[in-house]
């Protein structure tokens, strides 16, 4: 079981039966709410059947065997990435099934990660001149039909309200899958002159897409997101805005989520239904599949022409506005889990961790308890005052070893241990989540507030960079430069990303998808120098594209 749950490092403190005890406790705790089954997407009724161990067992017999033999709680990542992902979400209490197929309840710990994403982006959106507002979620069906490629892209995924207040509605209402149509309906009433431009807004909202294959956070029937919508007087301004926002997302991914996304432009085939250009950030997950983690669309005049969103320019001429839209969703939480997690569970970058430091007080004798708890509270207070997110786990219903494992599984970046000897010496023991075992553990850090605060903040910064660096190394060692379709196929078959020059047709792109399962994730902004020859056709190519299998 060593591979899935690390043994406590302070075993001397515990009775010999400790190891068994804490895993049993942990299992019991987890059994309170059985893990999300891999069949999240496989339910067929509108309401899911009650979750039982039986259902779980029948679907995941291999895992059940693991658990039966080894008390393993989280399937090792290397063994079954998908099972690991669902186990982590269940064990760390990030999310749970909703009663309706494909819906998800975001639990407090998962929601706190989303709040960290919101807190950062909300400030950046305002700094870049956007205002928050709120559009109704019910959209008349006729709106969706106005933009030709939009209706084609979204109509298979719509949820429709047909009854309201006990009556059949004259016009069925779409539960918003995205808001370009209703936004344009309103923009048309607010925009009249060039003085009303640019109009730059954002909303935090829920959206609904009737997906057939769902997966917690990554693809759910209803999800939370922000959607920015802007209108401009010129195509240049719209293009600049679309690029600015993908840049905001890129910085967020690198600096906060420690995810080294590759930013670039989508191929025509992969462009948003209704956009001229789609910019994207593509993240490599731990299984090397790509996750589209955020997009920014240059909509051109597609929606303004469909909805008649016009303004009078400085010369008195009527013009259609140029628009953008851009979005990041709760899918990003899935990206964080799948980028940094390991066999032990979740591993959270300090800047988005709901708990950055967990403090575990350790005592054996009753007369030690007060001194240890006082010191632990004082350390917690010091770090909270320094602006850190701190959890003092002072329950006496669990052993320290149980707590170590529990908070490691929850991905808390730093752990502070305080025992009677530490109290005497005025110091603490600090362990890093990202460096397992003794290497990640440092003894004798002074409790003196200024020293401790500086030490903890430095370590958190180190962990933040270290997670990013690991992810960069992983990403770079799994992207293969290819110059032929054969090489592309080989790279994809090895589970890697292929990067190669591309100027072939949409049909060729679809052929690659059919034959390899990989799609063009993007034409990256960062392009290699030199002349390029299309890997498929041998014709000159202007850009390399990245191909990968994706979520």
The pair phi, psi for residue 11, each rounded to 5°, is -60, -30
Q: Answer yes or no whether residue 385 interacts with a copy of itself by CB under 8 A.
A: no
* Rounded Cα distance, 333 and 467, in Å: 16
Three-state SS at 531: coil
Nearer to a copy of itself, 134 or 531 (CB): 134
533, 483 in Cβ contact below 8 A?
A: yes
Q: Is 192 in the site for a copy of itself (CB under 8 A)?
A: yes
Q: How far apart are the C-alpha atoms of 372 and 361, rounded to whole Å?
A: 6
User: Does 316 contact a copy of itself by CB under 8 A?
Assistant: no
Nearer to a copy of itself, 187 or 551 (CB): 187
- Contact status: 103 vs a copy of itself (CB under 8 A): yes
Measured from the CB of residue 369, what is the shortest distance to a copy of itself in angstroms? 20
Cβ(329)–Cβ(218) below 8 Å? no
Our finding on whether 139 is near a copy of itself (CB under 8 A) is yes
For a copy of itself, the binding residue among 210, 254, 455, 474 (CB under 8 A) is 210
Q: Is 49 in the site for a copy of itself (CB under 8 A)?
A: no
- Measured CA to CA, the distance from residue 363 to residue 418 in angstroms comes to 9
* Rounded Cα distance, 129 and 125, in Å: 7
Please select the residue that binds a copy of itself; options are 11, 27, 53, 108, rule is CB under 8 A.
Answer: 108
Query: According to the binding rule CB under 8 A, does residue 142 interact with a copy of itself?
Result: yes
Instruction: Return d(Cα 418, Cα 393) in angstroms, integer.
Output: 11
Reduce the DSSP state of residue 330 to 3 states and report it.
Answer: coil
Cβ atoms of 286 and 83 closer than 8 Å: no
Helix (H, G, I), strand (E, B) or coil at 156: helix
Using rule CB under 8 A, residue 396 touches a copy of itself: no
Single out the segment in contact with a copy of itself by CB under 8 A; choices: 79-87, 158-166, 449-457, 470-478. Answer: 158-166
How many residues belong to the site for a copy of itself (CB under 8 A)? 70
- Cβ pair 292, 280 in contact under 8 A: yes
Question: Which of 186, 357, 467, 522 forms a contact with a copy of itself (CB under 8 A)?
Answer: 186
Instruction: Specify the residue, 138 or 525, whose C-beta has the smaller distance to a copy of itself.
Output: 138
b (16+ CB within 10 A) / e for 44-76: eeeebeebeeebbbeebeebeebbeeebbbbbb
E-only strand ranges, 28-121: 95-97, 104-106
Verify binding: residue 165, a copy of itself, rule CB under 8 A. yes
Asked if 137 interacts with a copy of itself (CB under 8 A), we say yes
Q: Quick check: 45 binds a copy of itself (CB under 8 A)?
A: yes
Q: Is 453 in the site for a copy of itself (CB under 8 A)?
A: no
47 is a contact residue toward a copy of itself (CB under 8 A): yes
For a copy of itself, the binding residues (CB under 8 A) are: 32-33, 45-47, 51, 96, 98-100, 103-108, 110-112, 114-115, 131-140, 142-143, 155-166, 169-173, 175, 182, 185-186, 189-190, 192, 195-196, 201, 205-206, 208, 210-212, 221-222, 224, 397
């Amino acid at each position: 079981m060593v591979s899935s749950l690390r043994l406590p490092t302070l075993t001397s403190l515990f009775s010999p039966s400790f190891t068994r005890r804490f895993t049993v406790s942990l299992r019991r705790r987890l059994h309170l709410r059985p893990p999300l089954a891999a069949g999240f997407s496989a339910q067929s009724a509108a309401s899911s059947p009650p979750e039982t161990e039986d259902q779980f067992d029948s679907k995941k017999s291999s895992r059940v065997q693991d658990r039966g033999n080894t008390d393993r709680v989280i399937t090792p990542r290397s063994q079954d990435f998908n099972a690991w992902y669902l186990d982590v979400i269940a064990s760390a209490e990030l999310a749970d099934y909703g009663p309706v197929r494909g819906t998800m309840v975001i639990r407090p710990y998962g929601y706190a990660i989303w709040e960290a994403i919101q807190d950062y982006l909300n400030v950046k959106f305002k700094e870049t001149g956007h205002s928050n507002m709120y559009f109704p979620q019910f959209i008349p069906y006729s709106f969706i039909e106005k933009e030709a490629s939009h209706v084609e892209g979204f109509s298979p995924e719509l949820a429709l309200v047909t009854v309201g207040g006990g009556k059949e509605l004259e016009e069925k209402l779409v539960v918003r899958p995205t808001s370009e149509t209703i936004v344009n309906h309103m923009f048309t009433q607010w925009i009249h002159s060039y003085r009303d431009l640019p109009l730059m807004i954002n909303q935090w909202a829920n959206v609904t897409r009737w997906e057939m294959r769902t997966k917690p956070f990554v693809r759910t029937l209803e999800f939370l997101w922000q959607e920015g919508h802007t209108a401009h007087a010129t195509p240049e301004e719209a293009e600049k805005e679309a690029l600015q926002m993908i840049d905001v997302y890129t910085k967020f991914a690198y600096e906060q989520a420690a995810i080294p996304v590759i930013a670039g432009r989508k191929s025509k085939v992969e462009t948003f239904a209704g956009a001229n250009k789609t910019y994207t950030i593509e993240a490599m997950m731990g299984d090397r599949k790509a996750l589209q983690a955020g997009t920014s669309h240059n909509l051109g005049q597609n929606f303004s022409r469909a909805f008649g969103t016009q303004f009078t320019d400085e010369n008195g001429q009527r013009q259609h506005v140029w628009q953008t839209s851009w979005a990041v969703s709760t899918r990003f939480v899935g990206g964080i889990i799948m980028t940094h997690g390991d066999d032990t569970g979740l591993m959270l970058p300090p800047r988005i961790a709901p708990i950055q430091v967990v403090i575990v007080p350790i005592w054996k004798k009753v007369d030690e308890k007060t001194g240890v708890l006082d010191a632990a509270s004082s350390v917690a207070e010091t770090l909270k005052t320094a602006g850190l997110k701190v959890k003092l786990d002072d329950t006496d219903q669990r052993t320290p070893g149980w707590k170590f494992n529990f908070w490691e599984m929850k991905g808390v970046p730093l752990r502070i241990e305080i025992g009677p000897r530490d109290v005497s010496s005025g110091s603490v023991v600090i362990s890093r989540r990202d460096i397992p075992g003794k290497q990640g553990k440092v003894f004798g850090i002074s409790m003196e507030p200024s020293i401790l605060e500086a030490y903890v903040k430095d370590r958190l910064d180190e962990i933040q960079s270290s997670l990013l660096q690991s992810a960069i190394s992983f990403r770079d060692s799994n992207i293969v430069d290819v110059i032929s379709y054969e090489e592309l196929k080989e790279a994809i078959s090895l589970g890697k990303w292929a990067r190669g020059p591309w100027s072939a047709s949409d049909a060729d792109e679809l052929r690659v998808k059919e034959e390899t399962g990989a799609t063009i994730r993007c034409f990256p902004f960062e392009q290699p120098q030199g002349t390029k020859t299309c890997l498929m056709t041998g014709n000159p190519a202007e850009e390399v594209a990245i191909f990968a299998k994706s979520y």
